[in-house]
Amino acid sequence: MRQNPYTNRAKIENPADFYGRKKIIRKIYERISTPGRPQSVSIVGDRRIGKSSLMHYIYHPDVRKTYLDDWENYLFISVDFSIYGQLSPKEFLMLLSEKLTHEEAQLAAKNKETGTPAAPESFLSKVKRLLVGPFPNSEHPPEEPGSTSTFVGHSNQITSADYDGFVRKIERYKDKVLIFFFDEFDLVTRNRSFNLDFFAFLRGIANNFKVAYITSSARDLQSVAMDEIIGSPFFNIFSSIVLEPFSENEALMLIREPFQKNGIDLTCAEVQFVRQLAGLHPFFLQIACYQLFEHRRDASQTMESDFKELQDAFETSTQAHFEYIWQHLDNAEKKVLIKLVHAEEITRSEQHIIKSLNRKGYLEGERIFSSVFQNFVSSRTSSNAPEDEGTATPRFQILEELGRGGMGVVYKAHDTRLARTVAIKELLPAQDQDSGAIVRFFSEAKAAAGLNHPNIVKIYDLDEVRRSIIMEYVDGPSLKERGRLKLTEAIRIMTCVADALYEVHQQEIIHRDLKPANIMVNSRGEVKITDFGVAHIAGSTVTAVGQRVGTGIYMSPEQHRGEKIDPRSDLFSFGVVFYEIVTGRRLFARESELVQYYTAEQINYDHLYLDPLLQTESDANSEVLRTLDHIILTCVKLDRGDRYPNMKEVRNALKNLLKR
């Protein structure tokens, strides 16, 4: 009897049963074989999209021989964190040590079997003597210990000796390229035992040795990290690869080839029916193909006469998975799916949800990916989609999308209750399941709601159910959109900004993300500061020392380094913005220039002088330029102690300048 090739669909372990993802596989191998030092990669994808199968395929010895000419110089170490529970940092390093030794032993054994010369015995014996952990005499520890009980008898408190021991172990493999595969790595980034120092240590290992990390997670690593480590530079070493549904060709290959290998030719109708059941989603394609193979392997006839049997079997197998999906969709996603089932029109404001559901594999365009899942959604009533209580008409009618950032999207909307135009900022669906992201999102409302200043955007209300903030609509462009300004206009605007920031600082709030995009001017010429999404409130624990938040080229040196900040950090950003709007060019074209600036032993400020840049200004005299030059230079001093002590002094200096 033929064995069903679609049995191991959760994690495909046999490379011969793995299909698709060839471009992604090549890209990952290109990055880990980068000359000089391998590059780390973060694989991001929704549940059951195939992350674990992809990780295992890339890790497999036969596959690495295909893609790496010098594969003997590589050691691949694989850890699936879903089977280890809540590890401590000490146990983490012990586990990697164990895996590293085990991988070397396996490689040596395989070389002996194939006649390939093994590594010198003296080298291996040195490695064994340096092994830190519970297996000092074990050449072949279990491949998957299965729980933290492996480490019983050891204190879980990590010490400098543990770090030093792991570094010494890595040093012994300095002639090798070490690639660590961390499956379900978000279980580590969400573990409160792992602090900034630990992730700085991992980054240091990658920076100082030929080491790279390949991780998998449901979402971008920083979005699933604890607040305390979000700013860690560790996350900057990764390039992300988003795992999406199969292409049409990949899906057809997965459907047809395993059958053909077993001497079964599918009809076009059977292939189309599998596609109808499972769409382009790899996991559900595996389930549909499994059911079809079970029928066809012992029957000479095709399945066309009894597609209902296949559909019923597929529905039974997927019911629990569809329930899980539904429970983990946010209300906006559920509402869109219900609208599609009932052929209702999708609004412009819902297009980003359509894109998100396509990336997850639950839609193909504006069509639900599976006929069975469509029936499942249809069985859910429209009560699952939230509406305003007591009214059939939503209070806010979305008019257009104004812009989006890393956490949210902003819409122009009409408030039907108060008959006014407002701006609504909604948390992106990808962030909606992250409690930390929700706290950070609403910190904007809490930071700005208590401020009462004509140059700060007003917060009208917030909706914690819909994850949205209702605020004042500014009918004008940002300074980013306006570009270079006339000198007098720039001074007027930045005087207003300085006055507003002085009020912000008086309330013990630091903006932390001042940039041209966050300063707007309405049709009446009124200046408005917006986006307090990463503002720091005195006493708040939403962010901590060591976190690096803000926009790179506008951040102060101390903010960039993750140090404790004070209002003078906003002064630095203020000076960088001011320079940009009066010269028409950025003070730092890229973040690396800012790093070079604040790490230099001696700072040359000559390139900041405004006179050569503003010679065409007819309304500027040399005295004004010299004074403005001094103001901006003082704001962007490397040492915050050399800057103005507060924003009040900046405001007063600009007011005096306007009188000239």
**DSSP code per residue over 459-496:** EEEEETTTTEEEEE---S-BHHHH-S--HHHHHHHHHH
CB 636 within 8 A of CB 572: yes
Report the C-alpha gap between 358 and 354 in whole angstroms: 6
pLDDT the model gives residue 554: 85
- pTM for the model stands at 0.56
Q: Which H helix or E strand runs over 652?
A: helix 647-658
241: which 2 tokens? 């690869």
Does pLDDT of 545 surpass 60?
A: no
Q: What fold is seen in the domain 21-243?
A: Rossmann fold (3.40.50)
User: What is residue 106's DSSP assignment?
Assistant: H
Q: Nearest CA to 502 among 626, 650, 660?
A: 650
- Average pLDDT of the residues of the chain: 79
pLDDT digits (tens, 9 = 90+) for 278-296: 999 999 999 999 999 988 8
- In the chain, where are the structural domains located? 21-243, 248-372, 396-472, 479-658
CB 241 within 8 A of CB 270: no
Report the C-alpha gap between 292 and 323 in whole angstroms: 23
197: which 2 tokens? 């120092």
Q: What fold is seen in the domain 479-658?
A: Transferase(Phosphotransferase); domain 1 (1.10.510)
**What is the maximum alpha-carbon separation in the chain?**
95
Domain range 396-472, CATH class:
alpha beta
pLDDT digits (tens, 9 = 90+) for 485-535: 988 899 999 999 999 999 989 888 888 888 998 899 998 999 999 877 545
Does pLDDT of 145 surpass 60?
A: no
Q: Which of 381-390, 466-475, 496-505 has the highest mean pLDDT?
A: 496-505
Does pLDDT of 607 surpass 50?
A: no
Report the C-alpha gap between 175 and 100 in whole angstroms: 14
DSSP-assigned states of every residue in 534-599: T-EETT--SS-TT---S-GGGS-HHHHTT----THHHHHHHHHHHHHHHHSS-SSSSHHHHHHHHH
Contact partners, residue 164, CB within 8 Å, separation at least 6:
none
Report the C-alpha gap between 358 and 492 in whole angstroms: 47
448: which 2 tokens? 């700005």
CB 474 within 8 A of CB 412: no
175: which 2 tokens? 């002639």
